[in-house]
Amino acid sequence: MRIKYTISIVVFVALVIIEKENNIISRVSDKLTSQQTPQSVLQPSASLHMLLKHNASLTTRSKMNSAFTLMKRRLENYSHHQEVLTSTRKQILLLATTRTGSSFVGEFFNQQGDNMFYLFEPLWHVEKMLTLESGGTNATAAAKAYRDVLQQLFLCDFSLLESFIEPLPVDHITTGLFRRESSSSLCAESVCSPVIKGVFERYHCRTRRCGPLNLTMASQSCLQKEHSAIKSVRVRQLETLRPLAEDPRLDVKFIQLVRDPRAVLASRMVAFAAKYKNWKQWAMGGNVPLDDDEVRKLKGNCDNIRMSAEVGLKQPPWLRGRYMLVRYEDIARFPMRKATEMYRFAGMPFTPQVKSWILKNTQVSKEASGVYSTQKNSSEQVEKWRFSLPFKIAQVVQRACGPTLKLFGYKFVSSEKMLIDKSISLIEDKVFNFL
């Protein structure tokens, strides 16, 4: 009896030590949930319960050693599985503003295949809800909400996003997710519920007709993917995302996509005609009042983009090796080269499927490309704006966004003749260093 009692005490103490060791591992990364843990690996708490339950059978030193060996092996397997997930699972956040080509560039990751979970503008719901509740978007509150939702989504947790979806999902099921069809992951067979005739008949994805989205299934699908990517045009300042970079559960890389502000304005005047009616009127005649709210808004947008880029290019410790700046013009001219660079930066495999999509979608006819299309004849898109934006409007943008133009290597125009002269490129050859 004394031997049994002594052995039981030793086993208990040893298992407590192992339990503490595992807790240390858990603090380093709590990525693993019960869904992620291999069924063949016993959790330490379960192993502790089982071994204590059967400690009466451990009456010899050899059996005790066998128990220690088994427990050590299982703990090593568990730890190894954690390390593999932490070291291989990567996240990409594509940051941009509207009409910078972000939907097109986002497809570089959406087309990756089965190992990528891609989300298109999930923060649309957050912005809409905050605007409805307060009559306008509070910048500080919005920045915190955007950050928290992004953090949870990168962890494959949709619960916080659910609270912003209107109408509120019932049992985690929704028909209201913004642009679901723009995410291959949310249209995959594994998350595609049956269509209910007469109710969800019109709700479909690009490749198949799907019923409402079950966000629990989407979460499970996300957990099974090796990488994830999110495209957003709603984050104003890169600095607000610092907690994501410092979260030990994540390995986030930030790609900031920028475009000539003059080209952005020209594109918005077409895509958002009603919202930019003042600009359209100014383009047709009269002088632009430089103290107008629209001009101040333009300057504020340019300043936000520039300040985020300045933070990223300085590579502070929390961003070192995590930030890349890409100009849309470079992607439009050299899509394959820039896509290769982005994938190399992200540490993800550049698959033949992505290459095939890029080749197919960068050389299309004018008829095939529209205002919101991701199909572009990329070589024609680069400076197309020069022949639709009046010189006086270009001058206003240059005055409001001068420092931004200079930082990103966009040349100023000094005359209408220079603006429409195809022989003069307005894009400087510029390399933006990133680690």
For 12-37, the DSSP string reads HHHHHHHHHHHHHHHHH-----TTTS
Min mean pLDDT across 62-76, 231-245, 275-289 is at: 62-76
Q: Considering only residues 178 and 45, tell me which one the structure prediction assigns the higher pLDDT.
A: 178
| pLDDT per position as a tens digit, 86-99 | 447 899 999 999 99
**230: β partners:** 93, 119
CA distances from 23 to 18, 26, 389 (A): 9, 5, 61
Predicted pLDDT of residue 53:
39
Q: When comparing pLDDT for 55 and 230, which is higher? A: 230
pLDDT band at 285 (very low <50, low <70, confident <90, very high): confident
Neighbours of 364 (CB within 10 A): 15
| Residue 428, CB-side half-sphere exposure with 13 Å CA sphere | 12
Determine the average pLDDT of the residues in 69-84. 45
Residue 78: pLDDT band with limits 50, 70, 90? very low
Stretch 253-277: mean pLDDT, rounded? Answer: 96
What is the pLDDT, as a whole number, of residue 378?
Answer: 59
Confidence of residue 391 (pLDDT cuts 50, 70, 90): very high
Q: Is the pLDDT of residue 23 over 80?
A: no
Higher pLDDT, 190 or 337: 337
Local structure of 415: helix, strand or coil: coil
Mean pLDDT of 159-188: 94
pLDDT digit string, tens, across residues 187-223: 998 888 877 665 554 556 877 788 899 999 999 999 9
Q: How much is the pLDDT for 62?
A: 52
Cα–Cα dist 86/30, whole Å:
10
Specify which residues 232 forms β-bridges with.
Answer: 95
Residue for token digits 């952005």?
264
State the average pLDDT over residues 296-314.
97
**pTM for the whole thing?**
0.77
User: pLDDT band at residue 8, thresholds of 50, 70 and 90?
Assistant: very low
